[in-house]
Chain A
Amino acid sequence: MSSAEVNLLTASVKQYHYKLKAYTGLVNRLIIAQMLALVFSYVGATGMMSSGNDELTVTVSTYSASMVIVFSIFWIITIAITLTTKQYKKIELPLVGTRISGNLSDVGFLLTASVYAGMTSSLFGVLLRIIMYFTSDSSKIVFDEFSLAFPDLLLGMVVAILYMALISAMAYCTGVLAQVNMAFVIIIPVLIFGSLKVYTNFMQSVFKFYVGETFLPLFALKILFTSLILFGISLLLSNRMEVNR
């Protein structure tokens, strides 16, 4: 008998590669979600402003890819949660590894998905502009933001990816909690949302902490730190869990 020596990192990387192949099909759902969001963004502009007097009415419809990003965030929430379900965890069983390597490979997959979803959803701003260019009279299109500045595009991608990472970490952690005990899914929202005052305060402080941050490096740091904590909690929680009962 030769005893195979494996370290945690190699096992995690192998599982990550396996999962990447196993779950790429989830991209189809992302594409559908993004396409639908595009239709909404185009048909019902995200914002509208009307002004006028008796003889004139001026309507300014505002467009952005925000809806696509929001839909992509919903997508990543659903996959982060499904990854924690027993049905999906069973896929790890024939593979060499532990709960930690399983979690690490999940995190790797979610980060990859975040990068992919963040990139594609931000690029939808470009697609939306091109569609507008060909379908609308140019004298109706406001040039200022139409001429999307490249640094802004990159900034949007980075921020979208960071948001996806944060939200996937939150969703994954919630999923793991639900696996540990279904009661958490009820208890935690009750604790947080139980009192409306606490809820508003909580949401406001969360909002201020992330959405209110206007300095990119600090924002990135906050997100990375929070995601790390959330993934860490998930890892510790699931490390003691039994599988495939």
Chain B
Amino acid sequence: MGVIQCEDLTKFYGKIKAIDHLSFKIEENKITGLIGRNGSGKTTLLKMIAGYLKPTSGELNVFSGKPFNSLAVSANSIFIDDTMTFPDSLTLSDILTEVAPFYANWNSSLANGLFDYYSFNPQQPHSNLSKGTKSTFNSILGIASRCPLTILDEPTTGMDSAVRKDFYRALLKDYLEYPRTIIISSHLLSEIEELLEDILLINQGAKCLHLSVMELKELAVGIRGNAQVVLSFVEGKEILYQEDFTKGSLYVVIRRNLIEQQFELIKQSGLELFPVSTDDLCIYLTANTKGGIGDVFSRG
């Protein structure tokens, strides 16, 4: 069963198009990474899924109902981001106790355990926390609420790397114990790719890719070597990325299935084959222009 079904979804803010005819389906109990550059519409999409925003057109179903302003969706989902606000009259420990009754599956021993692990000051108000600690605290809510649909929008903003690792571990451990549908948005894929099962890559509000991480990792291959030789192999095929090196050396990234049969031949021709990191691949796929930032400088 698809927890989220999205068909031709479009969202306008006034005249600005934030989501552009997006269609996808997210299966139950999968961890999906929503990847895209800044301003690609990740947060807008997540807020529509959480029921905060109303789609301009198209179909969006969450738990087979329209999420906007829906009590059922609200009861079964939680949206965590770094703009969450809590009243100053509630201390951090108050927040944990006060938010708990809203969520049917709330695990208070987990919440308190994480709270103690990160050694929060229970008497502090939420608004006093630094950016990173705020994210850490919010992530506790996201994990402990054990919502059938857990939406984490850039959950690690401001966290230091040790805390990030702890957070990913905690999320995964609790997910294994209590499987649920999780969507994590991020512009940095490398950090979370091991955690993810699927990746939804969007660019300028439109879908770029939706596949499993394993497929993404084998989606493309990089070839480097003599420009002429390289070009002879990739002739007529879509080049995802191309970078010139000195002395007629060229690096191109190309879809792996286009060239798989020629691997042996390529190697024998003295060219090098590289796997393309998922991060780089996402950047190539969402690039508005072919070629990197270097082109800007080489043009002059």
Task: Using CB atoms and an 8 Å cutoff, list the residues of chain A in contact with chain B.
Answer: 1-8, 11, 14, 18, 21-25, 87, 90-91, 93-101, 239-240, 242-245
Contact = CB atoms under 8 A, between A and B. Distances in A.
Contacts of B94: 21
A25 B181 CA distance: 38
Interface residues of B, number: 40
A187 B194 CA distance: 56
A6 B71 contact: yes
B90 A21 contact: yes
A94 B134 CA distance: 14
A96 B181 contact: no
B104 A23 contact: no
Interface string B19-54: 000000000110000000000000000010001111
B236 interface: no
Contacts of B104: 2, 4, 6
Given A14-B102, A21-B94, A1 B28 contact: yes
Interface stretch (B75-83, B156-164, B199-207, B279-287): B75-83
Nearest to B141: A94
B79 A93 contact: yes
Main secondary structure of the interface of B (DSSP, over half): loop
B80 to A, nearest CB: 8
Nearest to B85: A90
17 contacts: A1-B29, A2-B105, A3-B72, A4-B104, A4-B105, A4-B148, A5-B72, A6-B71, A6-B74, A7-B71, A23-B87, A25-B88, A93-B79, A94-B79, A95-B99, A101-B71, A243-B53
B63 interface: yes
Given A5-B75, A96-B74, A90 B89 contact: no
A88 to B, nearest CB: 9
Contacts of B179: 1
B180 interface: yes
Contacts, number: 100
B248 interface: no
A87 B3 CA distance: 31
Given A21-B90, A22-B89, A94 B84 contact: yes
B53 A96 contact: no
Given A22-B90, A93-B85, 4 more contacts: A4-B104, A6-B74, A245-B13, A245-B53
Interface of B: 3, 13, 28-29, 47, 51-54, 63, 69-72, 74-76, 78-79, 83-90, 94, 98-99, 101-105, 141, 148, 179-181
A4 B89 contact: no
A92 to B, nearest CB: 10
A21 B74 contact: no
Contacts of A87: 85
B75 A96 contact: yes
Given A25-B88, A244-B47, A95 B102 contact: yes
Given A2-B148, A3-B63, A24-B89, A94 B71 contact: no
